[in-house]
A = this chain, B = another copy of it.
């Protein structure tokens, strides 16, 4: 079996996005966050272009990210800053386009309350 294959898709979308406006917990590990996890199992670097969509204004972006060959990147929406910061407590959606096929999953850790809540889903691809 070959280990480094070109698999996955180049276009992904996540319809549900929301960064809780506050968190409860110690350390970066327990900060409320919304993550796009991107796996690049290929032998080539992937260049990502992310657009963020809102309910009441024009989209933000493109945000540019890279994922090295045979690497995974867990991108936190909280950390995106260029061209702008994603507002907290606001509904959004995103699309992700990659220069080569990758695999994308979406996860949220919500720590607004004493006990955190988790959710995840494979993103939509085509």
Residue ranges of A at the interface with B (Cβ–Cβ < 8 Å): 1, 3, 5, 7-8, 11, 13-18, 29, 35, 37-41, 49, 51, 53-56, 58-59, 61-62, 70-74, 89, 91-93, 95, 97, 103-108, 110, 113-126
Contact = CB atoms under 8 A, between A and B. Distances in A.
Contacts of A35: 16
B113 A115 contact: yes
A94 to B, nearest CB: 8
Shortest 5 CB-CB contacts between residues of A and residues of B = A72-B93, A39-B93, A15-B105, A16-B37, A115-B115
A77 to B, nearest CB: 14
A59 B104 CA distance: 18
Contact of A123 (B49, B56, B74, B122): B122
Contacts of A17: 37, 72
- The prevalent SS among residues of A at the interface is strand
A41 B13 contact: yes
A70 B93 CA distance: 10
